[in-house]
Every structure is written in structure tokens, then in C-alpha cells.
């Protein structure tokens, strides 16, 4: 690719150069080209992500899969406009991630549910809508809709402390979806759940995603089977510094259900990713 695109951070007038680079980008909804992130602290530096290039289309469900510390969260934070790349360029629908974030294009679900203890489930889900200035009735209607969608209808008046971890995470998901963001960023949202709850949540997420027409999801996980079950494509990252070492088109029919786990192509996809990971180590 044209190196002028990846040097946007280093120039004396980065904004001008970034804007002209953005206008040259392709039609992907999310595009990362030659992205590197180096964290510098005193005399030490850590390269978290190195030369990552990925393109994600609107409506795709993609996963970033890789070992602990390989830069998955850093990559997601850069796409979400919460962190700046050291080098390279990320665009979101032709804008910078920061612009897209200000434009409320992202719903973000973090690994740990970040809920407000003093607000009920309903009030937690309503929070982004309150900030966006929705009126009380519309907020309430939308929150009830989402709470039902994530299966917590009977818990709308409860406080986070009265819920299990999995239920709290469903509240986080409902809140992230409340304002119908076109892009949903999920950083290991099921990482802390037991296997049974986790598998239930995976199929529930597929159900929710199927209903939220045309939204694009970037999902982080350590779990190969979770990535395969959920995704259209899986980006397999190497150990730190994280690079994309393989992109797998999953190619399993949708809708996917519990039965998909029994499909021979599901097993084949798992084997392909395992081989890729173990052939590198």
C-alpha cells in the first residue's frame, strides 16, 4: 500500500494528511492499514500490535482471536477511538475512529460489566439514551424492549448486585445496543462465565445480532470454538507483538444454533485454526 497512508501520525500536519488518506480508502466499513501500537513508558517500550491490516464490511460479524497479551484489546480500543495508533491508519465509515465515536457509532461491551450499582437494570440500560437526550417515555420503551431481548424482563427493577455475573453481562449488552449503534465492539464479554452459561450466551448473542439488522460486530475471544460459532471471519493473531497470521472465512450457514457445533464443517474450521496456531508455536 501507499506508505503515505501509514505515516499519517508522523507528519507535521497529521490532520490534513489523515483526511486525504481517508478519502482514498476503500469501501469497507472499518479499515485498518499497517496499524502498529507501541506503548512507551520512561525508557521502556512495548510493541502491542504490529503492522495489522484488516478490512471489515458492514453487517459482518468478525472475531479477533489470539493469546493473552497479543494486543486484541489494544486493537479494539484503537478501532473504537479510545487509543491512537503509533503508526498506520484506521477508518470507520470514512472517518477517523474518534469522529465515529463522537458520532455514537460504537456500542462497546467490556470484559467486565461496567454497571452503576445504584441504578436498576432499567436505569442502567436507559443511561446512554438519557445522555443523548431521549424523552422519558421513549427511553423507557426502548429499555424494556432491550431488556426483554436479553431475557431479563423479570429483573428490570433489580439492582446489579442482585444479578448473577452472566445477567450483569446481559445488561451491559442491552445497554450497548440501546441506541442501535451500527458497530458493536465486544471485548471478551463472556470471558468470566462458566462454560454452560457461556454457550447459552453465545447462542443468545447470535439471536440478538440477527434481530439488530445490519449491525457490524467485532468480538474478541481466546476461545477458538466461540470465534467459529459466532463469526463470518476470524482473524487469528500471533503472540505479542500481535500480527494477523491467518484470516479464516468460517462459511457455516446461518442461523447458527447449538446444532451447528455438531456440523462437520464446524469441526473442520476448529482444526484449521488449531493447525495455524500450533504450526506457529
Total residues belonging to the chain = 281
Please tell me the distance from the alpha carbon of residue 122 to that of residue 225, in angstroms, as a whole number. Answer: 32
Please tell me the distance from the alpha carbon of residue 93 to that of residue 201, in angstroms, as a whole number. Answer: 29
- 48 contact choice in ligand ATP, Mg ion, none (CB below 5 to 8 Å, kind-dependent): ligand ATP
Quickly list H helices, 36-164.
Answer: 72-79, 97-102, 121-131, 136-149
- The reply on whether position 243 binds ligand ATP by CB under 6 A is no
- In the complex, least distance from residue 69 CB atom to Mg ion, rounded to whole angstroms: 8
Nearer to ligand ATP, 68 or 279 (CB): 68
- The reply on whether position 240 binds ligand ATP by CB under 6 A is yes
The separation between CA 252 and the C-alpha centre of its own chain, rounded to angstroms, equals 20
- In the complex, least distance from residue 173 CB atom to ligand ATP, rounded to whole angstroms: 19
Please tell me the distance from the alpha carbon of residue 248 to that of residue 269, in angstroms, as a whole number. Answer: 8
- 240 contact choice in ligand ATP, Mg ion, none (CB below 5 to 8 Å, kind-dependent): ligand ATP
- The reply on whether position 73 binds Mg ion by CB under 5 A is yes
- 39 contact choice in Mg ion, ligand ATP, none (CB below 5 to 8 Å, kind-dependent): ligand ATP
- The reply on whether position 69 binds ligand ATP by CB under 6 A is yes
Taking a C-beta distance cutoff of 8 angstroms, is the pair 22, 99 a contact? no
Reading the block at residue 217, the C-alpha cell is 460486530
With contacts defined by CB under 6 A, how many residues of the chain interact with ligand ATP?
13
Stretch that binds ligand ATP, among 17-25, 40-48, 54-62, 124-132 (CB under 6 A): 40-48
Chosen residue from 25, 38, 46, 246 binding ligand ATP by CB under 6 A: 46
Taking a C-beta distance cutoff of 8 angstroms, is the pair 246, 98 a contact? no
Nearer to Mg ion, 49 or 147 (CB): 49
Please tell me the distance from the alpha carbon of residue 265 to that of residue 256, in angstroms, as a whole number. Answer: 12
Sequence-distant (6+) residues with CB within 8 A of 180 are: 212, 215
Give the residues lining the site for Mg ion (CB under 5 A).
Answer: 73
Give the residues lining the site for ligand ATP (CB under 6 A).
Answer: 39, 41, 46, 48, 66, 68-74, 240
Amino acid at each position: 500500500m501507499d506508505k503515505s497512508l501509514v505515516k499519517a501520525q508522523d507528519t507535521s500536519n497529521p490532520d490534513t494528511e489523515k483526511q486525504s488518506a481517508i478519502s482514498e480508502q476503500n469501501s469497507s466499513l472499518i479499515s485498518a492499514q499497517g496499524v502498529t501500537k507501541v506503548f512507551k513508558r520512561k525508557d521502556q517500550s512495548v510493541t502491542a500490535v504490529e503492522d495489522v491490516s484488516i478490512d471489515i464490511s458492514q453487517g459482518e460479524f468478525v472475531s479477533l482471536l489470539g493469546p493473552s497479551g497479543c494486543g486484541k484489546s489494544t486493537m479494539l480500543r484503537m478501532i473504537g477511538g479510545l487509543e491512537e495508533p503509533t503508526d498506520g491508519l484506521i477508518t470507520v465509515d470514512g472517518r477517523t475512529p474518534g469522529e465515529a465515536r463522537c458520532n455514537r457509532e460504537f456500542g462497546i461491551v467490556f470484559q467486565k460489566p461496567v454497571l452503576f450499582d445504584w441504578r436498576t437494570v432499567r436505569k442502567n440500560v436507559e443511561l446512554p439514551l438519557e445522555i443523548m437526550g431521549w424523552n422519558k417515555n421513549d427511553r423507557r420503551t426502548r429499555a424494556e424492549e432491550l431488556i426483554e431481548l436479553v431475557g431479563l424482563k423479570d429483573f428490570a427493577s433489580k439492582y446489579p448486585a442482585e444479578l448473577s455475573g452472566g445477567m450483569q453481562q446481559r445488561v451491559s449488552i442491552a445497554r450497548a445496543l440501546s441506541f442501535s449503534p451500527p458497530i458493536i465492539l465486544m471485548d471478551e464479554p463472556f470471558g468470566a462465565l462458566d462454560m454452560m452459561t457461556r454457550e447459552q450466551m453465545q447462542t443468545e448473542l447470535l439471536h440478538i445480532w440477527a434481530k439488530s439488522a445490519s449491525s457490524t460486530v467485532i468480538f474478541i475471544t481466546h476461545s477458538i470454538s466461540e470465534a467459529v460459532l459466532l463469526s463470518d471471519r476470524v482473524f487469528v493473531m500471533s503472540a505479542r507483538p500481535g500480527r494477523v497470521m491467518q484470516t479464516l472465512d468460517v462459511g457455516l450457514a446461518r442461523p447458527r444454533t447449538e446444532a451447528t457445533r455438531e456440523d462437520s464443517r464446524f469441526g473442520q474450521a476448529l482444526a484449521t485454526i488449531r493447525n495455524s496456531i500450533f504450526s506457529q508455536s
